[in-house]
Structure formats: structure tokens, C-alpha cells
Structure 1
Amino acid sequence: MEFKTVLFYVFAVILVIAAVRVITARNPVHAALFLVLSFFSAAGLWMLLKAEFLAIVLVLVYVGAVMVLFLFVVMMLDINLDKLREGFWGYFPLAATIGVIIVLEMAAVLLRSFWVSESQVPAASDTLGQTKPLGKLIFTEYVYAFEIAAVILLVAIVAAVALTLRKRKDSKYFDPAQAVKVKASDRVRLVSMPAESTRNAPATDAAVVADKPAAGQQS
């Protein structure tokens, strides 16, 4: 068995275990970390298939940006795990049906490759999956689709940040727009007061009280 085949089976086993832990972990932070591990394992499989661009995009975009955003949102939101799992078994039939359909679709695609003979398979190009030819296609023929996808991702990031900044009773909230408009005159006020002196001030109440018993004794 070749070393490349051994790496494929190792990455595949880690990917399957991590994917199962994503949906079985009780802690959402642990589930997100297992999803990061599954992304890294999938990137390793892409590298073995000589699809460097897909592997790099999977690591940079999903692990470096999307998953970090998910972790921040999960940690900032006040998630009640007991309430979150109340309707688990109610949604299980629908989720199982969708999962079976996805498995059948993937099986149909994969089994078709085994039925086709090697003579009917088109020859793979040496530049398939590399960064340079894909970059030329993205910034020439598919530049508008690429820009639209970038705008959609930006809107999703802004929406996620806006959700974390909403007003909550158990957290301190401030309006960023009001914070930007603050001026020094709104926070600090200088008051001019006349100077006072205690040299010619009248006697204190304590001195008056102390003099009263002495007056009573003289009488």
C-alpha cells in the first residue's frame, strides 16, 4: 500500500469521526471545534487530490474566518442548552429523511464513477485545481459572480456582529453611533465658583453646644 493511500484513509477516518462529533457534542463550542478539525481533514484530502486551491480556500475561508465568527457568536450569545435540546426528537424524523436523501445522492454520484470504464473517463489536465488558472477564470469570466459572493459574505458578517450588539438585560449595552458622536463638551463641564475663606467664619455648632452646660452651672 502506498503512503498516499495510507494518508487518505487516515484523513478519511478523522473526518468521519469529527463529523459525527459535530452533531453529537452537547457543548456548541466543542461542536464548532470538531467542525474545524473536519475542515482540516477535508483540506488534507483535497491536497492529496492535487486540488491546492480548494484546500487553501477551505482552510482560509472556513477555518480562518467563518468558524472564528461562529465561535465568537456562540460564546457571546446566552444559549440555554436545555431549552435548545427540548425539540430534538421532534425534528429527528425530518433530519433523518434529509440525511438519507443526501447519502443516496452522494452514493449515486460515487457509484457512477465505478461503472464507467477507464477508456470513457476524460484525461485530467495537469493544471486542474491549481491556483493560477482558477485565478485567471475568477478575475476574467466570473468576476461579477465573485464580487457578488464577496458582498453576500460581507453582509453576513455585518449581520452576525449586529446580532451580538443587540440590547440585552443581562449585559451592558452602548450605542456605537452615539459613542462616535460624543464631544469633549458633552462629557466635561467647567464650573466657575468664587473662592471662599474660613478665617472669619462663625463658630461651629459643636462649640455652641459645649458652651451651654457652662452657662447652666453659672446660674
Structure 2
Amino acid sequence: MIVSAIAFYIFAAIAIAAGFMVIASRNPVHSVLFLILAFFNAAALFVLMGAEFIALILVIVYVGAVAVLFLFVVMMLDIDFTQLRQGFLQYLPVGALLGLILVLELGMVGASWVIAPDAIHAAASPAPAFIDQVTNTRALGRILYTQYVYLFQAAGLILLVAMIGAIVLTLRHRPDIKRQVIAHQVGRRRDDGVEYKDVKPGQGL
């Protein structure tokens, strides 16, 4: 019990420090690396909670795909960070307002523990007996695809819109690059690619 508590505090502290360094690092590559570290520590916390499936999904999907993709995008895109920092003060009031709202929400959550202490016991009540007979994956799938199926589909649509927006923002048309046009390839005729030459005997092309 003491070992699990010590491991929890170590992983939680590293995850919080890595999350802070994500937004504090000036180098975007370092920010992505700290993000990967935060994902690994979050996965370790899920393992301590007994949610091994969620921990593996977090490592495989976020660390193995999303974070690496972010790293390649940051390294390949030619971004002028000096120009991006010029409008920092313009969005500072909005960011400060959102941060204040987040702090107030966290304060309300902390105050609810003092005002309604019974809510903690209700949240920490033991699970039903039959939950021990269900695997972690089946329990997650049963809740995700029954009770929260509409929210799951809405999250998929949001990710689809975000992916389309990222493609539109990064797509650049350059006149000096030859691009593939499927319509021209499909509509190509034999006369467009074959030319007959009447070569006389003893003459070359």
C-alpha cells in the first residue's frame, strides 16, 4: 500500500511538471517531448488504478501516433514563432479570463468537499459485485457504446472537423509543383499519348 502511494505521488508530480513544461518551453520540439512524458506518467497512473486497457490505449494512440505526429509536424513546418508571439498581448485578457474561470471551478470542487462531505463517500462507494466478473475492456465498451454512444459519435465528428481544418490550413498550392489530376488521367485518350510518324525507308526520326 505504501509502495503504491509513493508511486502515485511520483507519477503525479512528474505528470504535473511535464504538463507545465509543455506550455513553458520556448522550443516547440521540447514541448512535444514533455507532452509524451506526461502521457507516459498518466498511463502509469491508470495502471495503478487498475485500468490497464486505458493505459495501453493512451500509450499506443497518444504517444505512438498523436504525439509523434505533432513532433513531425512541428519539425517540418516552417513556422515564424517571432510573428506568432507578436499577438500574445492581444489575447492575454481572454486567456486570463479563461484561467480565472478554471480556478473558480476548481475552487468550487474543493469547496464541495467541505460543504457536502457525504459526496466523497458516495463517489468512493464500492462497485457492485458483478463488476468483478466483467473484464476491463468489456466494461468500458458497454458504457461507451450504450450510455455515451451519442457523445462518442459527437467526439468523432469533432475530430473529423479538426482534421479537415488542419488539412485546409496547411495545404499550400505552389505553381512550380506538378500535381496529379485524376480527372485528366481518366479522360486521357489514345490520341493524346500516341503519335504516328510516317518514316520513309532509309530515314530516321
TM-score scaled to structure 1, two decimals?
Answer: 0.68
1:1-219 map, 5 Å: 2-110=2-110, 112-113=112-113, 117=117, 121-122=121-122, 123-125=125-127, 127=131, 130-168=136-174, 172=177, 174=179, 177-178=182-183, 181=186, 183=188, 185=190, 188-195=193-200, 197=202
TM-superposed CA distance for 1:135, in Å, is 0.8
Paired residue secondary structure (2:86): coil
Q: Which runs of 5+ in 1 are unaligned?
A: 199-219
The alignment-based identity, stated in percent, is: 42
CA RMSD of aligned residues (A): 3.6
Distance 1:99 1:156 in 2: 24
Q: Flag the 1:189–1:47 CA change in 2: closer, same or farther, 3 A.
A: same
- 1:167-205 Cα shifts (integer Å, max 9, x gaps): 147x8462564576475858843442414647xxxxxxx
Going from structure 1 to structure 2, the CA distance change for 1:99 and 1:179 (only over 3 Å counts) comes to: farther
Structure with a larger share of its residues in helix: 2
CA distance in 1, matches of 2:113, 2:107: 10
Change (3 A) 1:34 1:136: same
Structure 1 residue 48, shift from structure 2 partner: 1.8
Aligned residues: 197
| Contact 1:165-1:173 at 8 Å conserved across structures | no
Larger CA deviation: 82-91 vs 105-114 = 105-114
Q: Residue 156 of structure 2: SS of its match in structure 1?
A: helix
SS of equivalent to 1:147: helix
Instruction: Answer whether contact 1:52 1:131 (CA < 8 A) is retained.
Output: no
What runs of 5+ residues in structure 2 fail to find an aligned partner? Answer: none
